[in-house]
A = this chain, B = another copy of it.
């Protein structure tokens, strides 16, 4: 997205944010060489970014190793506290969670990924620890499919062409032809069900949130496959989700 011909584009800012982001999912302190490898920036540029982040309190250095500091949370918090959608959604997610005793989440599309921007959780049932800020692929998640279903056919095709469709479980649909049919069906029925395609043992159902500008996000319920049948999901969970989506859609976002 950056452009060498754009004199107002701050390359240093882009590099610094790229270095901060590269810590995600690493679960360990990083050296200059590690961060340089992850960001594809030169070691010299990476070192300057890390040095500046330490000076600003966003990172800490321990010998050759760097870690991020809690100040990095401020930036995510700045989004959450300045945006209407997560604030308006939280009590609605809490209500669904309390009523159905299942975790309920709010997701939006960011590029080719789904980002969790709200979550109300009962017990943790997944091996993936989902929380606000978590990112997942669009093609194999119920919220992702609802968001893809809202895109034009051209956009769907372009997404499928550029995305690595990975077989995450033996049920994951990775055929572009079948996925296109799933997106069409999702758009028609107004919800998406994903049955153990993201993770074995996990089912989820999602519906879209409509704002002034069209579909702005999705909410879902994720639950254990062995506790709830697909028929139950449609009969009991779908109406509650639809009611919640209606409330959110009516809140003037």
Contact = CB atoms under 8 A, between A and B. Distances in A.
Interface of A: 1-3, 6, 8-17, 20-29, 47-49, 51-53, 55-58, 67-83, 87, 90-91, 94, 108, 110-111, 115, 117, 124, 129, 131-135
Contact of A56 (B17, B51, B75, B115): B17
Nearest to A66: B82
Given A78-B23, A78-B72, A79-B69, A55 B9 contact: yes
Contacts of A108: 70
A13 B49 contact: yes
A115 B79 contact: no
A104 to B, nearest CB: 14
A149 to B, nearest CB: 19
Q: How many copies does the complex hold?
A: 2
Contact of A9 (B21, B22, B47, B51): B51
Contacts of A117: 70, 73
A27 to B, nearest CB: 6
Nearest to A123: B94
Nearest to A18: B56
Contact of A77 (B1, B67, B76): B76
A134 B57 contact: no
Closest 4 CB pairs of A and B: A76-B76, A77-B133, A13-B16, A72-B79
Given A14-B56, A57-B111, 4 more contacts: A6-B55, A12-B12, A24-B77, A74-B115
22 contacts: A1-B57, A3-B55, A8-B47, A8-B48, A9-B51, A13-B13, A20-B78, A21-B74, A21-B75, A24-B78, A24-B82, A25-B82, A27-B82, A67-B83, A68-B83, A72-B76, A73-B76, A74-B115, A76-B133, A77-B131, A77-B135, A80-B131
Contacts of A6: 55
A69 to B, nearest CB: 7
A54 to B, nearest CB: 9
A73 B78 CA distance: 9
A19 B133 CA distance: 20
A52 B27 CA distance: 29
A25 B78 CA distance: 7
Given A70-B117, A76-B133, A132-B73, A82 B16 contact: no
Nearest to A71: B110
Query: Quick one: which of A56, A70, A75, A81 has the most chain B CB within 10 A?
Result: A70
